[in-house]
Amino acid sequence: MSKKDEFRIEEVQSREIEEFVKSSRRLYTNGMVKIWPPGCTLFTEYKNHVERVRQLEVRPDDVWIITYPKCGTTWTQEMTWLLLNNLDFNTAKNIRLIERSPFMEFACFVSRDEKVTSIDDTLTQTQNLESPRCIKSHLPKQLLPKQLWTVKPKIIYVTREPKDVAASYYHHHRLLYGYTGSWEQFVNAFTGSYEFWKIRNEENVLITSFEEMKKNLPAVIKSVAKFLDRTLSPEQLEQLCDHLSFDSMKNNPAVTMESEMALFDNSHLGGKVQPFIRKGQVGGWKSEFTPELAQKIDKWTADNLKGKDYLHQH
């Protein structure tokens, strides 16, 4: 056991997690640790970056996109960056999203093998980005930079039906991390957090959802624009909706991370480079979950969000 700042870091001692690690050929090569609070499991390498993340400078004009993975993060990033940058579609199409809107902790997550040494130090990239910054993170609330809660920049948090998240994240693990374990094994290791739901009424926090974007994208764009103090003409709104459509996003190399996908060994998938943006469906979990596994996720959700007015009542 060791301590970093106010955190307790322990080696993972769980049969399910150990089996999960063995089935992920790339990301978890050095094992995993559990960090308290919030009690989340991350790869061992991350413990070397806890303080760097916590001490990162936060600026008042930042906009932070914070989500659990596979909740519509890329969609929200592209929308937010364009709203912050006067709908500069030319730059959006020619400069990759990960350069315009960095994934703050990404470099801390990636195995340092010879195939990914080209990945930049994303903490330094985030620190050096010109204002206004649009920053992405998947970290739990307790692990984010301390200044988020004193400087109070605008934060957009995106939710999604947990079973759809699990299904999408399973395919993501197979694609990026070489996961070869079973679907059931993956679901057994899958959990999330509801810490941001507790602060949903703060003035600097906007919570939206993947389902809302699928159901009524123009309404979500208007909501985010209002939150960011931006106005759009009907013509601009239509342009942005077209740019953010699923087909447009899936075929836009600036957001699909094609060069990053090609870095990873995909022999377990038949050697074919798989798309980063997959189906983008609501309810896709129904074709993947057994009734027993669906019930397990529903029970976890009900137990942890009881009485919290949670918006996903599927």
In the residue annotation, 314 being an active-site residue is answered as no
Check residue 133 and give its pLDDT. Answer: 98
Segment 7-22 mean pLDDT:
72
CB atoms within 10 A of CB 19: 14
- For position 29, what pLDDT does the model report? 59
Higher pLDDT, 156 or 114: 156
Please indicate whether residue 305 or residue 213 has the higher confidence score (pLDDT).
213
At 223 the pLDDT is 98
pLDDT of residue 4 exceeding 60, the answer is no
Radius of gyration, alpha carbons of the chain: 19
pLDDT in the model for residue 19: 63
Closest by CA to 81, choosing from 130, 125, 121, is 130
- The residue type found at 143 is L
Amino acid 268: pLDDT? 45
Which of 18-22, 57-61, 102-106 shows the lowest mean pLDDT across its residues? 18-22
List, in order, residues 6 or more apart from 172 with CB less than 8 Å away: 69, 70
H or E stretch at 98: helix 97-100
- Residue 114's pLDDT is 40
pLDDT given at position 22: 60
When pLDDT is averaged across residues 83-93 and rounded to a whole number, the result is 97
Give the pLDDT mean for 273-302.
Answer: 71
User: What is the per-residue pLDDT for 89?
Assistant: 98
Helix (H, G, I), strand (E, B) or coil at 215: helix
CB of 140 closer than 8 Å to CB of 50: no
Among 8-12, 250-254, 267-271, 300-304, where is mean pLDDT lowest? Answer: 267-271
pLDDT tops 70 at residue 132: yes
Q: Considering the chain, what is the average pLDDT of its residues? A: 81
Point out the least confidently predicted range of 17-26, 166-175, 236-245.
Answer: 17-26
Range with lowest mean pLDDT among 17-31, 76-90, 140-154? 17-31
84-88, 108-112, 181-185, 275-279: which is most confident: 84-88
Q: Is the pLDDT of residue 46 over 70?
A: yes
Sheet strand arrangement including 63-67: 134-137, 63-67, 154-159, 205-209
Residue 143 has a pLDDT of 93
**List 49, 138, 172, 243, catalytic entry:** 138
Give the pLDDT of residue 294.
Answer: 80
Percent residues over pLDDT 70 in the chain: 73
Question: Residues of 268-283 as b/e, b for ≥16 C-beta within 10 angstroms?
Answer: eeeeeeeebeeebebe
Q: What is the CATH number of domain 51-305?
A: 3.40.50.300
Between 235 and 246, the higher pLDDT residue? 235
Q: Give the tens place of pLDDT for each residue, 62-77.
A: 999 999 888 999 999 9
pLDDT value at residue 115: 44
Is pLDDT at 1 greater than 60 in this prediction? no
pLDDT digits (tens, 9 = 90+) for 134-180: 999 999 999 999 999 999 999 999 998 888 888 877 776 777 666 77
Q: Does pLDDT of 266 surpass 90?
A: no
